[in-house]
Structure 1
């Protein structure tokens, strides 16, 4: 009887892991396809149609609502390097003190890993920033670090809220916030739209891969 219960628990864990792995695999695959499609558009076809259209829409919005510019400058700070360093240390520290050590490591790895991955991608693709930036910044452009690392941070927090706290509403708010930060980069002409979309895709790729590795390790240890 005891052996039957153990087998039943193992099968239940396997079913949960298999389902989650399938979903994560689909997310990773879709994000990977989007990322490489964007690299083809930008670096092979050298098409600027999407980027030009996006800048035109944001310029029209700024002309109609000039008061949005200070707001955009404020929102974009929530994925700036100083903020991400602080969040990447303080949030895991708070989670660890509260007894959520596994979740603390997950947030830390989401931020640190995506930051490193972003720099590797930027060095590889070597795309310069737009010359029309309202908020000039140094560094390379593809993919957007604000979009990528912001998606990793807020996407990870959204997952934790949905999975552990059953707060889907707040999870959607965090995902929407990550998307809004990405839009501010286009609004301020700091990044092209393709940079931002590639950043979102790469951030999702990293999150899906991280979740898959952590879940496999979790189930392999029989926890």
Structure 2
């Protein structure tokens, strides 16, 4: 009987909490669902990823043989020999100029098409604009101090000061490991995406949501923080994956970066600094420039300019660990001293 009464009190308290804080409840469910989905995908890829990839390769090989045996393919190959030689080279997985570059270009074109479609929806005030204002209204009611302070800390990772600090530290690490050509991709990703975002803000001239919690002077679309979440931190994750020979560690690095990028983009909406479409636009811009920088880095790697198999040394591990601690401390100071919420 006591257990039943206790359970009823817990249920009643939860219902009261949900009724009093619907935006916080929705945000909690969203974050919990995101973590569960990402963890499930990570677990599946670790357990079944290699087998699934091998199956795909076998199916592609079988399909390739079937197509080559068809009479239509033979007639077209005889009629257009140069085109088929060019096409076959684009799908050769042995070198960067074949299948890897083809996939990167296809991904780049797809991301650019998505960004163009998003811009068109915003300009024509499509349904995405209605969703923007609905989400902004819900986030405007979320004023829990602990939640706000947490997302101020998260959003500080996307600030210009912290981003510049990270780039400087990566330059130092690349100097220690004697891999200066890595910096080309890093600078292309960060500087290129930042310039693209700055020009886009001037072009679209979109105002920010009302009642923002932080003082920001630039325009709203696309979100610079969401852009840097993918362009900078995505490239750092790519470098970490490239230097790591362990498949399980590579998968975990990828999903950790993905969760962090989503949290950084979500922080811009929780603090009511950007609309949902601003964050999505920033993600697309960051992904576009990340693909460009990865393509450039892989080209440099294929040219023998970059070596990924490096001997582990105490100096390297010490510098990386010290850099991570320095970034965390700098972000805490930046969030506490420089970012002043208008609410408090």
TM-score, normalising length from structure 1? 0.83
Q: How many residues align?
A: 209
Indicate which of 79, 83, 106 corresponds to 2:162.
83
163-172 or 76-85: bigger deviation:
163-172
Answer whether contact 1:157 1:171 (CA < 8 A) is retained.
no
Call closer, same or farther: CA 1:217–1:90 in 2, change over 3 Å. closer
Partner of 1:6: none
Matched, 1:148 2:231: no
Answer whether contact 1:110 1:156 (CA < 8 A) is retained.
yes
Of structures 1 and 2, the one scoring higher in RCO (CA 8 A, sep 6+) is 1
Partner of 1:201: 284
Return the alpha-carbon distance in structure 2 between the equivalents of residues 17 and 57 of structure 1. Answer: 48
Partner of 1:3: none
Superposed CA RMSD in Å reads 2.2
> What runs of 5+ residues in structure 2 fail to find an aligned partner?
1-91, 306-344
- Give 4+ residue runs of structure 1 displaced > 4 Å after superposition: none
Answer whether contact 2:140 2:211 (CA < 8 A) is retained.
no
Return the alpha-carbon distance in structure 1 between the equivalents of residues 238 and 138 of structure 2. Answer: 32
Q: Residue deviations 1:130-184, cap 9 Å, x none?
A: 1221113111111000000221011101111222214221232122211210110
Return the alpha-carbon distance in structure 2 between the equivalents of residues 57 and 66 of structure 1. Answer: 16
Q: Residue deviations 1:8-31, cap 9 Å, x none?
A: xxx8752x4422213212321222
Matched, 1:32 2:112: yes
> What runs of 5+ residues in structure 1 fail to find an aligned partner?
1-10
199-208 or 49-58: bigger deviation:
49-58
Answer whether contact 2:140 2:272 (CA < 8 A) is retained.
no
Answer whether contact 2:115 2:285 (CA < 8 A) is retained.
yes
Cα distance, 1:37 vs. partner?
1.6
Q: Residue deviations 1:42-77, cap 9 Å, x none?
A: 1123542220232245356x36x5521110111100
Q: Please give the secondary structure, in 2, of the residue aligned with 1:79.
A: coil
Indicate which of 121, 135, 148 corresponds to 1:54.
135
Indicate which of 182, 190, 196 corresponds to 2:273.
190
Indicate which of 207, 212, 215 corresponds to 2:298.
215
Q: Please give the secondary structure, in 2, of the residue aligned with 1:101.
A: coil
Answer whether contact 1:152 1:206 (CA < 8 A) is retained.
yes
Cα distance, 1:189 vs. partner?
0.6
